[in-house]
Structure 1
Amino acid sequence: MNITFDELLPCSVKIAKQIQKTKCDVVCIIDRQVPTELAELFNEFRTFDQAFDSVVSCFKSHKLDLPIVYSPVQELTDYHDVRTYQKAAAKSMERAIKAGFESPMLVVPTSQRFSNSELCTVLGALDQLYVPIQLREDKPAEARRIKELSILIDTPKAESILKEALVLESGRRIARDIGGGDPERMSPLRVEVYINNVLSSMNMQIVQDVYELQEEYPLFAAVNRAANQVLRHRGCIIFLEYVPPKPVRKTLMLVGKGVTYDTGGADIKAGGVMAGMSRDKCGAAAVAGFMQIVNEKKPDDVHVMAALCMVRNSVGEESYVSDEIITSRAGVRIRVGNTDAEGRMCMADALCLFKEKAVVGKLPDPHLFTIATLTGHACISAGDGYSIAIDNSVAHKDGHARLLQATGQAFGEPFEVSVLRPDDFDFNKGKVIGEDIVQANNAPSTRTPRGHQIPAAFLIQATGLGKHGVDSKFPIKYTHIDIAGSACVFPEMPTGAPIVALAKTHLDT
C-alpha cells in the first residue's frame, strides 16, 4: 500500500494569519518578545515569578480567552545556536499535549541572530509530534498526538517556510520509522516493503539472492551468513536512484549502514550493552529519509543514487569470525579482526560498486558518502547530538566537510570535522603475508586511539578509492559521516540526523 506525502506528516499543519480562538485551543509562545495583546499579561507574571522566563508554564489569557503555553527560549550566550529555538518549540508542544490540547497554535519568532530560526522552530515542533511506527500500527487511535497544528509566522515567506519544513519532516519521519523500528518490525526484508510503499515512484532494485551477494558483495555476505539461516532475518541491499530531468551537474552516491540488530556476532556484545542495537540501522534510515527529500524536491540537475545495506549481525554456527580472510569486491584481501566491526564490512562493497559506476560512467562531479552509526568513539569524541564528517583528500581539497559543518550549524544539525592521517591507513595494513589490510583490532573503538577515523581509512582501502585521489586521472570525492552520537541516543527517539544538513548543502545549490 503506497503511503502519500500527507500520511507522512504528524497531523494537519497550516499557516495562521492571526491569533483566533476558532483556529486553536491553545497558543504556544517561545519568544520573550510576545505579541502586543499578551505583553501586559506577561509583564505582570514577571513581577512576582522570577522563574517565568526560564521554565515552561501554562495559564489562561482572559483578554484573548485562550490558554497560553509559554516555553521561553533560554537566555543566549555567544556559544548557543539555533537549536535553542528548536528545543523551546518542542517543549511547548510537549506541554500542550500533556495539558490535553489538540489544536495548538505555535507563534514562531524571528531572530536577528539566526537567519533560519523560523524553519528550525517549526522543525522543533514537528519533531515533538512524531509517533513511533509500531505504536501507530498497533493502536491507530494513538497515531497522532494532536489533530491540527497552526503556525503563525510574521513574514511574507511563511508559506514557503512551512512547505520546506514539511518536506524535511517527511524525510525525517521515514528515517525515524526505519531507525526506531524494532529488530522484527524493521528486519531487512520488511524495510524493503516499507521503502517500496513510501518511495514507490523512485527507481528501486533489491539484491537479496545469497549467491549474488556472495559473488558481488562478499564482505556484506560474510556479515549476513548467520542471519541468512533465518528466513525473516535474511539481509538485502536496497538500491534507489533519482535521475534528474536536465543534464547532470553533480552526482551524489550514498551508502547507509543498515544493521537491524547488532549482537556483535561471534565477538558478542557482553555486559548488558546490547540494548539499543536495533538502532544500528540509522545510517541506512537517514539515506532513505534523504531520498524522500530528493523525491519531493526533485532537483533539476542532481543525480542521486543510494544503497541501504540491510543486514542483521547475528551470532550462530554460520557466523563469520575473526581470522577469516575475505576478498572484497575490489580484490583486497581483508583479515577479520573483530566481528563487531561489521558496519564497515556491510558498506564497503556497495561503496565500491558506486566507485565503479562513477569511473566507468564518467559521472559528473561524483561525491560518495557512507553514513553510519559506526563507532562509540564518535560519541566520546564529539558528544551527544553531533555528527562527525571525514573527507578524503579530494573532498577535503574542495572544503566539503567545513561547508557541511557550517550548514549543519545554521540548521540545527551540528557537525564536528575530523581529518585523515597517514597513521590511520597504516593502522589497517596487513600484518602477515597473505593479507592486504586488517578489518579492525580486537579492542572496542572507545579504547582505540582515532577510533572513528580508522574505519574511514579502511573504507578507502577496501574499495580502491585510494586510487582516485587528487592527482589521479579521475579524482572522486568521498565523505564518511559517523552519526553514532547524533542519530539515536537510546532510548530517545531517532533524530533523522544528518539529512537536513545534507539536503541544505547538496540539494539547494
Structure 2
Amino acid sequence: MAYPKLTVVNDYSAAAGGGYDAVILIGDYQQYIPDDFSSHVERARQFDRRVGEQALLLTCEVAGGRLITAPTGPLTRDYDDVRQIADAAAAGARIAADAGCSKPLLVVFGVPEEDPRYGQAEAVAYWGFCQALYQPLEAREALGEDKIETVTEVGLVGVVNEDWLQAVEAGKRVARDLCGTEPERMAAPRFAEYCQQAFAQSPVRVTVIDDIQQLQHEYPLLMAVARASLGVERHWPCVVRLEYKAPAAEQTLMMAGKGIVYDTGGVDLKVGGHMAGMSRDKGGAAGVAGFLKTVAEMRPETVNVVAELGIVRNSVGADAFVADEIIAGHSGVRVRIGNTDAEGRLLLADLLSHLRAEAADYPQPQLFSVATLTGHAALAKGPYTALIPNGPARVDKITDRLWEAGEVYGDPTEISWSRREDFSFVRPRTKSDDVLSSNNGPSATTRRGHQFPMAFLSIAAGLDQHGTDSEQPLPYVHVDIAGSGVEGGDWQHGKPTATPVTCFAGCYLHR
C-alpha cells in the first residue's frame, strides 16, 4: 500500500543532488517569486501570459529541467483558505505525472506568515499532491500499482515532520480505499479482511464480529438492515472493532462508523438513478478506519481510540425490513421504522449504545458517530463536514477544536446545533414505540434534515440520559460527511476525500 515517499529539505539549494526531476512551485504569482525561480518565470511570461495564472510546465534550468507553475491565486482575502494550496499542489501533481516525472520537489512560497490559516501550508500541499495522484484500489489490483502510480517519491521544502505527514497520508489512503471500492470487492467480509491486513503488526487490535446469532442478539437494529442480505453469504454483515490503547491514556475517543457497503434504499427503493454511487455509503466507517491507521502510525502516548464499524449491505428481498416495524435496539429503546432508506442511523444507534455502555471504563471518553448520513447535509453544507454536538460536547468545546483543526489542516467543517424541534420531530406518536427513525420523505427536502438524525441517535443509543443535567455527562458529536466525502459531491465518480481523517488527526494527534 504505497504512496509517494516524502523527503523534507530546508531550502531549494539543499535539494541539489537529490535526484529530483521537476520542481512544482506553489504560491501566489502576483506577489513576489523566490529568487531561485523568478528569472525563469519572468522569461516565460514574455511568451505566455498564462504563466502564473494556471498550472503549466516550463522547461528551464531547475532540477530535472522542468518547472511546473502551480498558482494558488490570492491568499489574503477574507474567504481564502489553505485548500487553495492543496488545489494548486494537486494541479501540479497531475502535470508532473503526465510529464513522466517520478520524483518532483514541492516548493511553497508567498504564504502570509502571520495568518493562522496557513500554519500547515506545506503539509497541506503534500496531502493535496497525494490526493491527486491516488488511484483506486480496483485499478491498482487490475493494472499494477507500479504501472499507474508512477510518482514514487516527492521532496518538500519546509520545516515539517515527515513522519507525521506520511502517517496522515497512510490513514487517508486506507479511507479512500475502503470508501471508494466497488460493492463486491469491498463487501462486508472483504472490508473486514482489508482492515485486518491494514492493521497487521500494528498496535491496533482488530476484532471481527460476524457470527449471525451474536449480531442478532447484540446489534438488533443493525441486523434489521442486514436481514435481506443474509441469503447471500458473501454479503453477510459484520462489526469491525478497532482498539488502540495508549501507554498513559488521558482521554478516549469512541467512534461509531457507518459502513453501508451498498445502499439500495431497501424497500423504500432509491429510484430515478439515485442508487448509483451508493457503494460509497461506507465513507463514515472508512474515515474512522483511516483515522485509526494514522493512530497506528503515530502511536500517541495519551489518547485511547476505540471504534466500532457496522459493515452491512442494505439489500432488497422477501425478508427486508419495512417501514412501520418496531424494533428494540441494543439500548432497549423501541424504534419505529419511518423509512428503510434511513438505515445508517439504525446501525449507528447500536454501535453507539455499545460504546456508551463501555464509556465508564475509559478516561475522559468522547463519543462520535461518523457517516455519509443525509442529502440534507450535502445540500446545507456543500463541501464541508457537518458537526452536531450534544450539550456536554458543546460545553467541552469539542466542535470548536475540530473546526479550528479543519481550517488549518485543510479538512474544513461547519457546526450545526441540536434543537428541541429535532427531538420533537422523532417523538413517539403512540405508546407502541419510543422514537421514530425518520419521516418518509427525502432528507434534502426536510427541514433540519441533517440535525434531527442526531436527536434520533441520542435517544436510540441511550445518550439522551447522559446530557449536561445527568450524573454522568457524555460528550457526543455526530459527524455527517455526506457533503464532504467525495470530490465535487459526485458520489458515483468523485474521488474519496478521506474526510475526516485529517481533521481528527490534526485535532487529537499533532503536537
TM-score (norm 1): 0.94
Give 1:147 shift.
Answer: 4.0
Shift of 1:146: 2.3
2:150 matched to which residue of 1?
A: 146
Change over 3 Å in CA distance of 1:334–1:143 after alignment to 2:
farther
Q: Distance in 2 between matches of 1:302 and 1:352?
A: 21
Tell me if structure 2 keeps the 8 A contact 1:110–1:118: no
Determine helix, strand or coil for the equivalent of 1:105: strand
Cα displacement (A) at 1:212: 1.1
CA distance in 1, matches of 2:6, 2:509: 24
What amino acid is the match of 1:101?
A: C
Name stretches of at least 5 consecutive residues in structure 2 with no aligned partner: none
- Root mean square deviation of aligned Cα: 1.7
Separation in 1, partners of 2:8, 2:254: 36
- Alpha-carbon shift at residue 402 of structure 1 (Å): 1.7
The C-alpha deviation readout for 1:451-480, integer Å capped at 9, x for no partner, is 000110000000111111112111100000
Tell me whether 42-51 or 236-245 shows the greater mean CA deviation. Answer: 42-51
Rate the CA distance shift 1:64–1:400 in 2: closer, same or farther, 3 A.
closer
CA pair 505-143 structure 1, distance change in 2 beyond 3 A:
farther
Given that 1:226 and 1:316 are in contact with CA atoms closer than 8 Å, whether structure 2 keeps it comes out as: yes
Residue 484 of structure 2: SS of its match in structure 1?
A: coil
Which residue identity lines up with residue 54 of structure 1 in the other structure?
A: E
- Distance in 1 (CA, whole Å) between partners of 2:110 and 2:243 is 37
Asked whether the 8 Å contact 1:106–1:149 carries over to 2, the reply is no
User: Cα deviation per residue 1:104-162 (whole Å; 9 max; x = unaligned)?
Assistant: 22223362131111111111111112121111111115555224333231x4x34x1x2
1:366 alignment counterpart? 365
Note the C-alpha offset of 1:71: 1.3
Distance 2:163 2:138 in 1: 27
Q: 1:50: Cα distance to partner?
A: 3.4
In 1, the alpha carbon distance for the partners of 2:47 and 2:192 equals 57
Which letter does structure 2 place at the counterpart of 1:28?
Answer: I
Counterparts of residues 477-488 of structure 1 (less than 5 Å): 477-488=475-486
Name the counterpart of 1:226. 228
Distance between the aligned counterparts of 2:260 and 2:109, measured in 1?
40
* Equivalent of 2:463 in 441, 456, 465: 465
Counterpart secondary structure, 2:230: helix
| Matching residue of 1:493 | 495
Who is 2:35 aligned against? Answer: 36
Q: Select the residue among 436, 440, 443 that pairs with 2:441.
A: 443
Output the CA distance in 2 between the equivalents of 1:498 and 1:65: 36
Counterparts of 1:277-426 in structure 2, within 5 Å, are 277-359=278-360, 361=361, 363-383=362-382, 385-426=383-424
- The change in CA–CA distance for 1:119 and 1:63 in structure 2 (over 3 A counts) is closer
C-alpha separation in 2, matches of 1:304 and 1:65: 44
Moved over 6 A (4+): none
Aligned residues of 2:90 and 2:130 also touching (Cα < 8 A): yes
Q: Which residue of 1 aligns with 2:125?
A: 121
Structure 2 residue 92 is the aligned partner of structure 1 residue 92: yes
Gaps of 5+ in 1: 1-7
Deviates more, 1:8-17 or 1:453-462: 8-17
Structure 2 partner of 1:5: none
Name the CA shift for 1:172/1:204 in 2 (closer, same or farther; >3 Å): same
Q: Distance in 2 between matches of 1:64 and 1:179?
A: 37
3-state SS of 1:189 partner = helix
Indicate yes or no: 2:429 matched with 1:431: yes
Q: Among residues 122, 137, 140, which one is paired with 1:136 in the alignment? A: 140
Amino acid at match of 1:253: M
Separation in 1 of the partners of 2:145 and 2:355?
43
Q: Do the aligned residues in 2 keep the contact of 1:30 with 1:109 (CA within 8 Å)?
A: yes
1:49, distance to aligned residue in structure 2 (A) = 3.6
Q: Is the 8 A contact 2:74 2:80 kept in 1?
A: no
Paired amino acid for 1:413: D
Matched, 1:107 2:136: no
Pairing 1:263–2:264 present: yes
* Partner Cα separation in structure 2 for residue 143 and residue 394 of structure 1: 50
* 2-structure distance, mates of 1:271, 1:492: 19
Q: Indicate if the aligned counterparts of 1:93 and 1:125 stay in contact, CA closer than 8 A.
A: yes
Corresponding residue to 1:11 among 4, 10, 15: 4
C-alpha distance in structure 2 between counterparts of 1:91 and 1:64, whole Å? 19
278-287 or 25-34: bigger deviation: 25-34
Shift of residue 48 of structure 1? 4.7
Q: State the alpha-carbon separation in 2 of the partners of residues 213 and 70 from structure 1.
A: 54
Contact 1:135/1:143 (8 A) holds in 2: no
Identity over aligned pairs, percent: 38
Alpha-carbon spacing, 1:63–1:419, altered in 2? closer, same or farther (3 Å) = closer
Count of residues in Structure 1 that have an aligned counterpart in Structure 2: 494
Letter of the 1:146 partner, please give it.
Answer: T
Separation in 2, partners of 1:280, 1:25: 39
Change (3 A) 1:506 1:103: closer
The answer as to whether partners of 1:172 and 1:496 remain within 8 angstroms in 2 is yes
AA aligned opposite 2:153: L
Give the letter aligned to residue 88 of structure 1.
A
Amino acid at match of 1:87: D
Change (3 A) 1:239 1:22: closer
Deviation at 1:75, TM superposition (A): 2.1
Post-superposition shift, 1:99?
2.0
Residue 51 of structure 1, CA deviation: 2.9
Q: Point out the more displaced range, 398-407 or 287-296.
A: 398-407
For the 8 Å contact 1:56–1:70, the answer to whether it is kept is yes
Query: How far apart, in 1, do the equivalents of 2:387 and 2:57 lie?
Result: 41
Q: Residue 390 of structure 1 aligns to a residue in which SS?
A: strand
Deviation at residue 52 of structure 1 after TM alignment: 1.9
Query: Do the aligned residues in 2 keep the contact of 1:131 with 1:143 (CA within 8 Å)?
Result: no
- Cα deviation digits, residues 348-370 of structure 1 (max 9, x gap): 111001101113x2x22110000
Answer whether contact 1:108 1:122 (CA < 8 A) is retained.
no
Alpha carbons of 1:205 and 1:65: their partners in 2 closer, same or farther (altered >3 Å)? closer
The 8 Å contact of residues 9 and 169 in structure 1, kept in 2 or not, is answered as no
- Report if the CA contact (8 A) 1:26-1:101 is conserved: yes
CA distance in 2 between partners of 1:64 and 1:183 (Å): 43
**What per-residue deviation string (whole Å, max 9, x for no partner) do you get for residues 68-100 of structure 1?**
111111123221100000100010010111222
- Which shows bigger deviation, 216-225 or 69-78? 69-78
Alpha-carbon distance, 1:64 to partner: 6.3
Report if the CA contact (8 A) 1:178-1:186 is conserved: yes
Alpha-carbon distance change, 386 to 459 in structure 1, aligned in 2, over 3 angstroms: same
